[in-house]
Amino acid sequence: MGHTARVNDRTPDPAASRQERKQRTRRALLDAALELLEEQGFSSISLRQVTRTAGVVPTAFYRHFADMEELGLALIDESFRTLRAMLREARTGGSMDGRAIHNSVEILVGYVHEHRNHFRFIVRERFGGVASLRQAIGGEIRMFGSDLASDLARVPALDRWRGEDLRLLAGLIVSLMVQTTEEILEAPPSDLAGYEETMSRARRQLRMITLGLGEWRVAGRADATTAGSRG
Amino acid sequence: MGHTARVNDRTPDPAASRQERKQRTRRALLDAALELLEEQGFSSISLRQVTRTAGVVPTAFYRHFADMEELGLALIDESFRTLRAMLREARTGGSMDGRAIHNSVEILVGYVHEHRNHFRFIVRERFGGVASLRQAIGGEIRMFGSDLASDLARVPALDRWRGEDLRLLAGLIVSLMVQTTEEILEAPPSDLAGYEETMSRARRQLRMITLGLGEWRVAGRADATTAGSRG
DNA sequence: TGTACATCAGTGAACGCGCGTTCACTGATGTAC
DNA sequence: TGTACATCAGTGAACGCGCGTTCACTGATGTAC
């Protein structure tokens, strides 16, 4: 809440190269935007507010971004880049089963919790007023759903499912994860009990979904396959 | 796209009373805002844009709303009032079973489809930059979840469920409905095939959720291991 | 190592613009008698 | 029914303000020799 780390604060740090300092200012602009986005929507924060918060003159902005939209896209990229890497890593190791799906959900929710400001921005702008940001965020979430669907295809219990049904199932899970992300962001970051509560709710809701999967008729006929979610 | 029904267009209609004309201007302001909200977020549309689109001078705005926020709250109220009535009616008739839940979902999705502009606004501002609107929308959705949970309590198959679990299940279904609403709004209103496709997906996803409910252990132990499917 | 020049991140003044809000007003509609 | 007055939805001018963007600039950092 308003520590507002400005980029200069008049300690020029002679050890830093020109390039390093430029990066630092860029960082300050991104952080300033994230700070302002705690309170406002992206389309209502101004370039001048951002530079003011970053401790820099308005015109300095143009050394880093062509306009606010470009800054917004940079924030989206930042938000998802590390998460994608973490999930890719989690998914390469070992076999794919119900446990692995649960793991991915835990990784995502933990990640969101640790990057609250980024994801508050993401949730706000997912259907916000700026079309290019909406598209970029939509693309990331869709990609996330596709990855999940192909993971699900590797779960033994689901091996006879049609691709279309796997995508529906993935959509259901993504929908739960979006909902959970929103819940995480509603509580203050210090509220660890609330965080655990949300996690626990998400786990049980995920289990509610997976429990019934054994009942789903694969080919459209009533041949009930076995094996629900097995821990 | 941009038919922009202005309030005056210089046909004063001598038959209308002063009160009727005032209502008409109010309506024109709300419609103007909805039209602008197709393209922009609420916090970035201006009072002057709204009055310009409505065909009225900026200062006339104050005869109807204290500020833009008050207009926004009026739009939220409009969006949900009729829907609430329809769902209440749907739920008073007859017994409550899986069929009734499906019916409610159909009503909601159809309603959203026929009030696209209102619900685009709702979806945008649900996590948008204006706190009071966020709260109002959150309250409506939460109320919706509570109603659904108490409906679920009357479903025979769920009669032994704990309230907490019913709320989780209701949350899951609300989450699916929000997701479906977002899908409906992504396609143009003329795309009836897309609408039916979305409806069909929603139905099957709802079935995926409800299929497993027989497996849920009512008294709920805390570990993750679960039995396989029943016949 | 020292000098002369190039680069370029950040500065500060200035611009025209749309904004929300104020104010005194107009003139049609409504009401009292 | 006709007259005199009150109401009040909508008008139009004016205000001060923050905005995005332009421009010429400064002075520390980087580079060539």
Q: How far is B23 from chain A (nearest CA, A)?
A: 29
Say whether the CB atom of A25 is under 7 angstroms from strand C: yes
Contact A220, A148 (CB under 8 A): no
CA distance B130 to B41: 10
CA distance A211 to B209: 9
Question: Which stretches of chain B are DSSP H helices?
Answer: 18-37, 47-54, 68-92, 98-114, 116-125, 131-152, 163-186, 192-211
pLDDT, residue B45, reads 97
| Cross-chain Cβ contact A179/B182 below 8 Å | no
Q: What proportion of chain B, given as a percentage, has pLDDT over 90? A: 73
pLDDT tens digits in sequence order for chain A, 231 residues long: 445 557 755 445 566 889 999 999 999 999 999 999 999 999 999 999 999 999 999 999 999 999 999 999 999 999 999 999 999 888 887 677 888 888 988 999 999 999 999 999 999 999 998 999 999 999 999 999 999 999 999 998 898 999 999 999 999 999 999 999 999 999 999 999 999 999 999 999 999 999 878 778 765 444 333 333 332
Q: In terms of Cα–Cα distance, which of A138, A49, A72, A39 is closest to B128?
A: A39
A46 token code pair: 């101004």
Residues of B in contact with A34 (CB under 8 A): none
Contact A29, A120 (CB under 8 A): no
Residue B95 exposure: Cα atoms within 13 Å on the Cβ side? 6
CB contact B118 to A (< 8 Å): no
pLDDT, residue B14, reads 60
- Among A176, A182, A224, select the one facing B127 at the smallest CB separation: A182
pLDDT, residue B61, reads 98
DSSP assignment string, A106-153: HHHHHHHHHTHHHHHHHHHHTTSS-HHHHHHHHHHHHHHHHHHHHHHH
Q: In angstroms, how far is CA B33 from the centroid of its own chain?
A: 17
Which 3 state secondary structure label does DSSP give A159? coil
pLDDT, residue A92, reads 81
| Cross-chain Cβ contact B44/A129 below 8 Å | yes
SS3 content of chain A, % helix, strand, coil (to 5): 70, 0, 30
Which residue, chain included where needed, has tokens 């997912």?
A126
Contact B171, A176 (CB under 8 A): no
Say whether the CB atom of B172 is under 7 angstroms from strand C: no
Q: In angstroms, how far is CA B143 from the centroid of its own chain?
A: 12
Which bases of strand C have any atom within 7 Å of the beta carbon of a protein residue?
A: 8-14, 18-24, 28-30
Q: In chain A, which residue's Cα lies nearest the Cα of B201?
A: A168
pLDDT, residue A226, reads 38
B14 token code pair: 């001598």
CA distance A130 to A33: 15
Residues of B in contact with A209 (CB under 8 A): 172, 208-209, 212
Backbone phi and psi for residue A168, each to the nearest 5 degrees, phi listed first? -60, -45
Question: CB neighbours of B101 closer than 8 A, spacing ≥ 6?
Answer: B148, B151, B152, B155, B173, B206, B210
Contact A71, A33 (CB under 8 A): yes
pLDDT, residue B230, reads 37
How long is the CA B58 to C1' C16 vector, in angstroms? 21
Contact B152, B80 (CB under 8 A): no
CA distance A158 to A213: 8
All residue ranges of chain B with pLDDT < 50 are: 1-2, 10-11, 220-231
Mutate to test the interface with B, among A119, A121, A172 (most CBs of B within 10 A): A172
Which 3 state secondary structure label does DSSP give A67? coil
Mutate to test the interface with B, among A132, A152, A211 (most CBs of B within 10 A): A211
Q: How far is B209 from chain A (nearest CA, A)?
A: 5
Q: Write out the H or E segment, with its range, that includes residue A164.
A: helix A163-186
CB contact A150 to B (< 8 Å): no
Q: How far is A96 from chain B (nearest CA, A)?
A: 16
A160 token code pair: 């006879």
Measuring CA to CA, how many Å separate B81 from each of A8, B89, B175, B198? 52, 13, 20, 24
pLDDT, residue B15, reads 64
- Triad A25, A49, B40: Cα angle to 5°: 115
CA distance B181 to B137: 14
| Cross-chain Cβ contact B129/A205 below 8 Å | no
Nucleotide nearest to A64 (CA to C1'): C9
Q: Give chain B residues 29-48 with Cβ within 7 A of strand C.
A: 46-48
Contact A30, A75 (CB under 8 A): yes
Instruction: Establish, for the pair of chains A and B, how many residue pairs have beta carbons separated by less than 8 Å.
Output: 134
Backbone phi and psi for residue B138, each to the nearest 5 degrees, phi listed first? -55, -40
CA distance B126 to B144: 14
pLDDT, residue A222, reads 41
pLDDT, residue B127, reads 94
pTM: 0.89
Q: How far is A208 from chain B (nearest CA, A)?
A: 7
- Triad B163, A189, A38: Cα angle to 5°: 110
Within 10 angstroms of residue A19's Cβ, the number of other Cβ atoms is: 8
Q: In terms of Cα–Cα distance, which of A15, A8, A11 is closest to A32?
A: A8
Say whether the CB atom of A57 is under 7 angstroms from strand C: yes
Contact A141, A125 (CB under 8 A): no
Nucleotide nearest to A21 (CA to C1'): C9
Mutate to test the interface with A, among B117, B119, B123, B127 (most CBs of A within 10 A): B127
Q: Which residue is nearest to nucleotide C28 (CA to C1')?
A: B18
A145 token code pair: 């759903």
